[in-house]
Structures are given as C-alpha cells and as structure tokens.
C-alpha cells in the first residue's frame, strides 16, 4: 500500500478537498496534488503535519502499518488497535497486573507452606519431556515445526506451591520460556523467564505465548475482535498488528515472570 493512496483516502474521509487540506496543513495545494499522484516524496515535516490532521501515526500514513490492507481496512484496523490500547491503559491503571502480583507473592515468600516448591511427579514425564522429577522444562525457544522439542530445553525448574494452589497441580501443562528481545519492555525484559500454562482461558489483554507466521513462539499481549486477533507489544516502538485469528496458535497464558529462581 502506497503513501499517495492512503493520503487521498484519508483526505476524503476527513471531508477535505485538496485546497482545504492545503490550508489546514500549511502545505501548498500543488504539493498536495503531487503527493497524491505519487510524483513527490513526502517531506518529514509534512508527514508529521498530515498525520496530526488525520489523527493517525506517520507509519500508518506512509503505509508501513498494515501494508497489505486497502486504505479503508487499514484505517479501521488502526482505529481498533487505538481503542484497545486505550482500554488496556485504563485497565492497567485500575487493576493490579496479575502477572506481577503473582510473581511477587511467589518469589518473595519465605519457606512457609505457600513458598515451598511443588515436586509432584507425573507418569507422562518421560513421554513429553516437560517434567523431570516434578520440575518443569525451561525452553530457550519453541518452534512450530517441532513444538516443545526436548533439544530446546535449557533447564528444568520447580513450580511454587503458591502457583499450584492457584492454577492447579497438573504440572504437565506448565512450561517456562526464556524471552528474547525487547518487544515487551517494560513489562518483561530481554532474557527474563516466564511461567506459562496451557489450556487456560484467554481474555483480552492477557499475556500469552503465541506462534504465528514466523513459526517461532513469542510473548505478546492479545485482544480478540470477531475473527481477528490483535497482537500487542508493550514496547511502544513496536506497532500493534491485526491478523486473522486462525493464523495464530496460542500455546498458553503467562502466569508470572522472573529473572531467576
């Protein structure tokens, strides 16, 4: 999707003709026409002014966000993401972050009954490679080709009883994963480790481990809208994305995070 097509669409959506947009942006009418015909590269200063007028980001106007969508669907997806982000920010202000609160409870507890480690074993330990003597596998990566490959296990860690008491003793459904990259900063740092449980109900704004088109599992926040899924990074340098939900597989819901055990 090219910049000139989005510019023309957004202008008409705003109800402006070329002269009205020229007056509002302080850009000559002839330059506006050249932009819309694709015969002139956009100047950064003009890009920022136009994006402000249309109440979108420069990335959306340039076509870098939702590049495969036509202008109307791209704008609709952008508005949806903005609404969901606003909802998420309000939820974060009014509610405690479940991931952080559970982490604090579990890892700052002394060795009382709620702070002890769960060592329950399963007959499925050897079959799945997720458990060894009741300890849960820590995966350094998870790939769609061979999910939960034992060759990708970095270590085995126990699970605190405080977690088990909240989420169940079916340890075969738990796994740890080391997070790579800065896409979820400040919530989750690069190289941090999250505890995940499969088969948990997923709600809007939950942190999950998800596999998409790249085939690599990643940590993201998700929201659902009809048959669409919104993939959200907490690091605002990474734009949110809207995809067909059928193209993504959620491996599990994040229960808490830590840097070490």
**105 CA to centre of own chain:** 25
CA distances 75 to 66, 235, 245, Å, are 9, 22, 19
What pLDDT, on the 0 to 100 scale, is given for residue 78? 76
Give pLDDT tens digits for 247-256. Answer: 999 999 999 8
- How far apart CA 133 and CA 76 sit, in angstroms, is 51
Would you give the DSSP letter of residue 216?
B
- Quote the pTM value: 0.56
Give pLDDT tens digits for 153-181. Answer: 999 888 888 788 888 888 889 999 999 99
Measuring CA to CA, which residue among 151, 161, 84 is closest to residue 119? Answer: 161
- How far apart CA 249 and CA 143 sit, in angstroms, is 12
What percentage of the chain reaches a pLDDT higher than 70? 79
Q: Which domains does the chain have, with CATH numbers?
A: 3-93 (1.10.260.40), 97-258 (2.10.109.10)
Give pLDDT tens digits for 94-124. Answer: 544 444 444 444 433 323 333 344 434 443 3
Classify each residue of 149-182 as buried b or exposed e, where b means 16 or more C-beta atoms within 10 Å of its C-beta: eeebbeebbbbbbbbbeebeeebebbbbbebeee
Residue 121, SS3 per DSSP: coil
Q: What is the mean pLDDT of residues 144-155?
A: 86
pLDDT at 45 over 80: yes
Pairing of strands 193-197, 249-258: antiparallel
């Amino acid at each position: 999707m090219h910049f000139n097509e989005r510019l023309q669409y957004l202008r008409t959506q705003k109800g402006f003709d070329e002269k009205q947009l020229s007056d509002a942006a302080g850009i000559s009418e002839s330059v506006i026409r050249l932009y819309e015909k694709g015969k002139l590269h956009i100047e950064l200063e003009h890009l920022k002014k136009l994006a402000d007028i249309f109440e979108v980001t420069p990335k959306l106007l340039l076509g870098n966000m939702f590049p495969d969508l036509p202008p109307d669907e791209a704008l609709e997806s952008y508005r949806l993401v903005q609404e969901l982000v606003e909802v998420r920010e309000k939820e974060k202000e009014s509610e405690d972050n479940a991931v952080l609160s559970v982490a604090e409870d579990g890892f700052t507890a002394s060795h009382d009954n709620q702070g002890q480690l769960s060592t329950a074993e399963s007959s499925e330990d050897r079959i799945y490679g997720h458990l060894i003597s009741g300890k849960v596998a820590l995966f350094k990566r998870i790939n769609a080709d061979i999910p939960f490959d034992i060759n990708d296990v970095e270590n085995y860690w126990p699970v605190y009883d405080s977690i088990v008491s909240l989420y169940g003793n079916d340890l075969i459904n738990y796994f740890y994963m080391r997070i790579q990259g800065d896409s979820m900063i400040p919530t989750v740092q690069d190289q941090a480790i999250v505890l995940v449980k499969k088969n948990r109900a997923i709600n809007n704004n939950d942190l999950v481990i998800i596999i998409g088109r790249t085939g690599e599992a990643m940590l993201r926040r998700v929201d659902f809208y009809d048959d669409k899924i919104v993939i959200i990074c907490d690091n605002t340098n990474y734009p949110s994305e809207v995809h067909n939900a059928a193209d993504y597989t959620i491996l599990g819901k994040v229960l808490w995070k830590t840097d070490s055990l």
